[in-house]
Amino acid sequence: MPLLDGSVGVEDLVLLEPLVEESLLKNLQLRYESKEIYTYIGNVVISVNPYQQLPIYGPEFIAKYRDYTFYELKPHIYALANVAYQSLRDRDRDQCILITGESGSGKTEASKLVMSYVAAICGKGEQVNSVKEQLLQSNPVLEAFGNAKTIRNNNSSRFGKYMDIEFDFKGSPLGGVITNYLLEKSRVVKQLKGERNFHIFYQLLAGADAQLLKALKLERDTTGYAYLNQEVSRVDGLDDASSFRAVQSAMAVIGFSEEEIQQVLEVTSMVLKLGNVLVADEFQANGTPASGIRDGRGIREIGETVGLNSEELERALCSRTMETAKEKVVTALNVMQAQYARDALAKNVYSRLFDWIVNRINESIKVGIGEKKKVMGVLDIYGFEILEDNSFEQFVINYCNEKLQQVFIEMTLKEEQEEYEREGIPWTKVDYFDNGIICNLIEHNQRGILAMLDEECLRPGVVSDSTFLAKLNQLFSKHGHYESKVTQNAQRQYDHTMGLSCFRICHYAGKVKWQGWRAEIRAQAQAEGNGGGTRGR
């Protein structure tokens, strides 16, 4: 029921009576239906994505929230950003804002709102404004190269980002440092039905002028590129052409030279062309299956970009060289192996390009050595995902979210209750689920799923996904958060949705089914030349 002050429901869930799951969800729904998308739990802000533009942002609201304390106005992400900045500026305490949630919940938009709010209230002046503009303009560049349309989100972050914004003693920004991790590089060569590759490919083809396309030897039509999903080349609400111009402008503001921008686009176009390299069956003189490149023009253009002639590049894609102290052995690859090698090259070139872009941004926004500074960190990672077909990368994403959930539990529940005990404060103990048992299931260095996967990938002889699954079934037959057909049958829990070749992990955010990694990881690892395993992936 609406309250007398115009608010709806309970603005701080700590005050909710009774505080149970049903009443909590009902309160969030009531507020959401009245377009109140923010609700507090103490100093935590819950945001329910409205999937529409609401008139609750901009200069008017920034001016309002900067003049009030955390609880004086309606719950808002500006209030959170304001209290973090004030604590940093006035109390000399470094801050970190952790943004977590499912894919499509609005984490990236929340991080941009935090940054825009802090930029608006943290001082003025030519030098300060230049630093603020560089920090803000890093967003469109990183989104172009690191975001993509997925089934659940038209602008989904496909990488993790942690940004440290550094301030002087007065609270004016000096610069920052961006750390990126877990770029979903498999998206470069393969996308699920209804999804797109990274934005930059579509932006380049839609927004580049005729002269630039000619220089890059590209065609504007997306249907000519095997790495681009033809079903969804355009997305409602996204203007790829104008976004490309915005990315070019943002790179210039950050400090990229014209030559650097051109080189970035050349490497981007090279990745597109790699997908069109056709590998054909060939046979060696002794009849052994081999492979060769069918598309001479494409391989020549790629070679010109990377400084190799066509013969060298074809040899690199269609053979593998093993070198020992005594000899060098060149082994021809069959068509499937050569395709893996081509795709592995495309993924790694794009991944290194993305790392280079992040490092180049950091060069422009870094703070000089020796300057005394305060730090505000903003963490934005891609969210927990439950898909119909979950790859190894989804597993790593969900594992990362599981670890963040553990940090959240420790900071908001475990540490608070331990402090009550230390100080002898009367309180009613709050029971909560400690998800450390799920993290341990995945990460234990001897008996965890990752350790078992490494062992299976590196084992010589006949190994398969079946042997990997059999080992997991044996190790975790009685684990409360591991399920497979075998373990369910043993416990007389029959589930017809479970196949014989898969297993499920009962994560904090739901059950997720996994299958078919080992063969994929081993084949790709061999194509990349590291023999197998998950280390460094």
CB 413 within 8 A of CB 432: yes
Residues 6 or more apart whose CB falls under 8 angstroms from that of 402 comprise 435, 438, 439, 442, 507, 508
Angstrom distance (rounded) from CA 59 to CA 74: 17
Angstrom distance (rounded) from CA 278 to CA 295: 6
Please indicate whether residue 69 is annotated as part of the active site: no
From 82, 103, 364, 401, the catalytic residue: 103
CB 178 within 8 A of CB 362: yes
Q: Where are the beta strands (DSSP E) in 249-360?
A: 279-283, 289-293, 319-323, 328-332
Measured CA distances, 519 to 68, 352, 385, 454, 467 (Å): 57, 25, 22, 12, 11
For 244-265, the pLDDT digits (tens) are 999 999 999 999 999 999 999 9
For 133-154, the pLDDT digits (tens) are 999 999 999 999 999 999 888 9
Please provide the size of the chain in residues: 537
From 39, 47, 156, 484, the catalytic residue: 156
For 442-482, the pLDDT digits (tens) are 999 989 999 988 888 777 665 577 888 888 999 998 899 99
State the chain's mean pLDDT as an integer.
87
- Cα torsion angle, 510, 516, 522, 527, sign: negative
Residue 1: per-residue pLDDT: 36
CB 189 within 8 A of CB 343: yes
Strands 374-380 and 95-99: parallel
Please indicate whether residue 383 is annotated as part of the active site: yes
CB 532 within 8 A of CB 522: yes
From 9, 104, 146, 175, the catalytic residue: 104
Return the residue matching tokens 């037959």.
Answer: 477
Residues of the chain with pLDDT under 50: 1-5, 530-531, 535-537
From 143, 385, 393, 456, the catalytic residue: 385
Please indicate whether residue 516 is annotated as part of the active site: no
Partners of 281 in the β-ladder: 291
From 108, 138, 180, 233, the catalytic residue: 108
Residue 135: per-residue pLDDT: 92
From 175, 298, 383, 532, the catalytic residue: 383
Strands 156-157 and 503-507: unpaired
For 351-383, the pLDDT digits (tens) are 999 999 999 999 999 987 766 789 999 998 878
Q: Helix (H, G, I), strand (E, B), or coil: what is residue 347?
A: helix
109: left (phi over 0), alpha (psi -120 to 50) or beta: alpha
From 27, 82, 116, 157, the catalytic residue: 157
Residue 520: per-residue pLDDT: 58
- Cα torsion angle, 527, 530, 534, 536, sign: negative
Please indicate whether residue 156 is annotated as part of the active site: yes
**What φ, ψ does residue 288 adopt, rounded to 5°?**
-70, 135
From 153, 243, 269, 291, the catalytic residue: 153
Please indicate whether residue 421 is annotated as part of the active site: no
Residue 465: per-residue pLDDT: 78
Q: 33 is written with which tokens?
A: 């239906």
CB 115 within 8 A of CB 378: yes
Residue 64: per-residue pLDDT: 94
- Secondary structure of 295-333 in HEC code, one letter for each residue: CHHHHHHHHHHHCCCHHHHHHHHHEEEEECCCCEEEEEC
Measured CA distances, 318 to 281, 337, 486 (Å): 11, 8, 41
Residue 32: per-residue pLDDT: 96
Residue 523: per-residue pLDDT: 54
Q: 170 is written with which tokens?
A: 């007065």
pTM of the entire predicted model: 0.87
Q: Helix (H, G, I), strand (E, B), or coil: what is residue 322?
A: strand
Residues 6 or more apart whose CB falls under 8 angstroms from that of 270 comprise 302, 305, 306, 349
Which domains does the chain show, CATH number per domain? 273-354 (1.20.120.720), 392-528 (1.20.58.530)
Residues 6 or more apart whose CB falls under 8 angstroms from that of 34 comprise 2, 8, 9
Please indicate whether residue 428 is annotated as part of the active site: no
Residues 6 or more apart whose CB falls under 8 angstroms from that of 145 comprise 198, 199, 200, 353, 354, 357
